Amino acid sequence: MKYLRYIKTTFKITASMLAFGAIVGCSGFLDESDPSNFTVENYFTKPEHARSSVSAIYANLRNPMGSGFGGGTWMMLEFATGLAATDLGQAVNSYYVKDLRNTSDNSYGLDYWSTYYRGIGNANLSIANIPNINMDENEKKMILGEAHCLRAFFYFNLVQMFGEIPLVTEAVDLKSEQLYPEQAKVEQVYDLIVSDLKIAEASGLPWNDQSGKINMGIVKSLMAKVYLTMAGFPLNKGAAYYDLSAKASQEVINSGQYQLFPSYNDLHDPKKKNGSENIFSIQYKTQVIPSNWQVAIIPYNKNISAYSDETGGIYATKDFVESYDSNDLRRKEKQFFFTKFTHEADRSREVELGAYFIYKHFDYDAQTSTTNSDLNWSIIRYADVLLLYAEAMNEVAGPSANVYEAVNAIRKRAELAPLAGLSKDQLREAIWKERWHELCYENITWFDMVRLRKAFNVTTKKFENYVGHKFSYGPVVTERELLFPKPTAEIRNNSKLIQNKGY
């Protein structure tokens, strides 16, 4: 699209980081009389430019979801939990993470780093230039709110994964002081995240948006996550931030805009991909930008899919699935997991898959006929918000009717008995367990493990210290696994970056 043509050249904050705001070229190539040749100086002139520049930021959410015979960047956050397995032998980056032998050369980490910093760069470009556009001030404020929220999301993920990181807040060109920035303290990054979310909160965004754009439900849900994380490790801000998290999540609950789906099948129904339970999702569109992880969540060459590629890229460990209560609906066949499916050449013939594959992300039509998935990837579900509220409120005031109501809504759908009569400590771990079992394989569990410094022992069904936790297949977590390594390419090109401990 034309609005992307102004991002012709990337400049190094580090090897592949940001993007941003200058065009380099000779006068013979760039004809300024041609209005389709955009620079930053001549682009941000119309209201449509404001909208399109922010739309460009969303694209950076998608890149880590790419999947194939090389694995997929998104899998990094799942293999790091010790709860995922793979049959994809050539996806060496998956094994490095899964077996706790990760290095700074892992392309998954580099992909997250470079993609999210490109998103930050695009957000900075919008934040710097949209205020100068002559347009409706309310619309301008809302569009800027989207940009600030997206920047907060990218930074929130990066600071959790990599710790002290460069803090880039301006549109960068070759003369910018932030071209090769020093890494910031973790708390400084969180300060910017909170500031961005507060700007988005005050921007007048609607509570819901069926198109999938940033809305107040997303802003408040993300605030609840950020505050809960700040209450725990590594900042340990404690009670005041549990309270902030509880209040933000309660606003989402009280808004009445969201609800749990009655069936788990709704989680992977493309017709229900925005709104209701799906608060914040990465947007896909069949025949335009189809979702691309379907080949990764089916078994290796079992001939059950219309897709030509069946990679067996990621599936659940048997021990994790068996950690669910035996009567938990989520454990049942074709709820969250599946162990058998029909053969692609004969749908009356059933194939045993040999493992627990992930059904909650399964697009039935794409797998059986179209090979062109219309399914979104959910980033924040209402189930997550209910559990954020339950955890935070239990920390603030202990067990209460509202806390039980939130966590028991999750359990009711799973056909489990409601929790009751627990102490604060008992309820805390019960809520954590629901998070592990409800939100598994959604790129959430590893973040929970690090903020809590806790891991779920699938054998004892109890929580234990994260450092020293032994995965069911052998490796033992050390202190270095509290963060991922900063990519080699980035450190090589920015001497101000310091590698994380142990890498």
Average pLDDT over every residue of 332-339: 98
Average pLDDT over every residue of 376-392: 98
The per-residue pLDDT for range 77-135, each reduced to its tens digit, is 999 999 999 999 999 999 999 999 999 999 999 999 999 999 999 999 999 999 999 99
Sequence-ordered list of residues with C-beta below 8 angstroms from that of 27, at least 6 positions apart, any chain? none
- CA dihedral (248, 183, 143, 256) in degrees, to 10, reads -20
Is residue 213 within 8 Å of 146, Cβ to Cβ?
Answer: yes
- pLDDT computed for residue 147 by the predictor: 98
pLDDT of residue 240 exceeding 80: yes
Q: How confident is the model at residue 174 (pLDDT cuts 50, 70, 90)?
A: confident
- pLDDT computed for residue 37 by the predictor: 57
Phi then psi for residue 463, to 5 deg, are -95, 145
Report how far residue 246's alpha carbon sits from residue 251's, in angstroms, rounded to the nearest whole number: 9
Phi then psi for residue 261, to 5 deg, are -65, 145
- pLDDT computed for residue 4 by the predictor: 32
- pLDDT computed for residue 33 by the predictor: 46
Q: With CA atoms as reference, report the closest residue to 357 among 334, 372, 339.
A: 339
Average pLDDT over every residue of 309-331: 98
The per-residue pLDDT for range 338-370, each reduced to its tens digit, is 999 999 999 999 999 999 999 999 999 999 999
Report how far residue 432's alpha carbon sits from residue 245's, in angstroms, rounded to the nearest whole number: 16
pLDDT of residue 142 exceeding 60: yes
Q: Residue length, the chain?
A: 503
Report how far residue 230's alpha carbon sits from residue 238's, in angstroms, rounded to the nearest whole number: 8
Q: With CA atoms as reference, report the closest residue to 77 among 435, 380, 360, 445.
A: 445
Secondary structure of 32-56 as H, E, C letters = CCCCCCCCHHHHCCCHHHHHHHHHH
SS3 61: helix
pLDDT of residue 320 exceeding 50: yes
Alpha helical stretches, state H, 366-478: 382-397, 401-413, 424-438, 445-452
Q: How confident is the model at residue 252 (pLDDT cuts 50, 70, 90)?
A: very high
- pLDDT computed for residue 2 by the predictor: 30
- pLDDT computed for residue 5 by the predictor: 28
Is residue 464 within 8 Å of 476, Cβ to Cβ?
Answer: no
pLDDT of residue 455 exceeding 90: yes
Q: How many CB atoms lie within 10 A of CB 453?
A: 14
Strand order in the sheet with 315-316: 84-85, 315-316, 346-358, 337-343
Report how far residue 364's alpha carbon sits from residue 189's, in angstroms, rounded to the nearest whole number: 41
- pLDDT computed for residue 173 by the predictor: 78
Regarding beta strands 377-381 and 462-465, do their DSSP bridges make them parallel or antiparallel, or are they unpaired?
A: unpaired
Q: With CA atoms as reference, report the closest residue to 282 among 88, 35, 59.
A: 59
SS3 479: helix
DSSP bridge partners of 220:
none
Q: What are the sequence ranges of the domains in the chain?
A: 2-63+103-204+486-493, 284-375
Is residue 403 within 8 Å of 390, Cβ to Cβ?
Answer: yes
**How deeply is 151 buried, as exposed, middle or buried, from its count of CB atoms within 10 A (0-12, 13-18, 19+)?**
buried
Residue appearing with tokens 């797998």: 367
Helical (H) or strand (E) element with 151 = helix 137-162
The per-residue pLDDT for range 253-307, each reduced to its tens digit, is 999 999 999 999 999 999 999 989 999 999 999 999 999 999 999 999 999 999 9
Using only C-alpha atoms, what is the Rg of the chain?
A: 23
Is residue 50 within 8 Å of 135, Cβ to Cβ?
Answer: yes
Token digits of residue 75: 């899998």
Give the residue, 171 or 390, on which the prediction is more confident: 390
Regarding beta strands 84-85 and 278-282, do their DSSP bridges make them parallel or antiparallel, or are they unpaired?
A: unpaired
In whole numbers, what is the pLDDT of the chain averaged over residues? 92
The per-residue pLDDT for range 14-58, each reduced to its tens digit, is 333 333 332 223 333 333 445 555 677 778 999 999 999 999 999
Report how far residue 173's alpha carbon sits from residue 334's, in angstroms, rounded to the nearest whole number: 51
Angstrom CA distances, 147 to 140, 203, 483, stand at: 11, 11, 27
Report cis status (omega within 30 of 0) of the bond before 234.
yes
Angstrom CA distances, 499 to 270, 488, 494, 502, stand at: 41, 9, 11, 8
DSSP assignment string, 186-228: HHHHHHHHHHHHHHHHTTT--S--TT----HHHHHHHHHHHHH
**How deeply is 217 buried, as exposed, middle or buried, from its count of CB atoms within 10 A (0-12, 13-18, 19+)?**
buried
- pLDDT computed for residue 393 by the predictor: 98
Report how far residue 492's alpha carbon sits from residue 409's, in angstroms, rounded to the nearest whole number: 49
Phi then psi for residue 14, to 5 deg, are -140, -165
Average pLDDT over every residue of 381-403: 98
Token digits of residue 354: 């040999």
Helical (H) or strand (E) element with 340 = strand 337-343
Is residue 386 within 8 Å of 439, Cβ to Cβ?
Answer: no
Q: Classify residue 500 by its DSSP letter.
A: P
pLDDT of residue 70 exceeding 70: yes
Report how far residue 323's alpha carbon sits from residue 436's, in angstroms, rounded to the nearest whole number: 10
Average pLDDT over every residue of 457-467: 98
Q: Which fold has domain 2-63+103-204+486-493?
A: 1.25.40
Is residue 271 within 8 Å of 261, Cβ to Cβ?
Answer: no
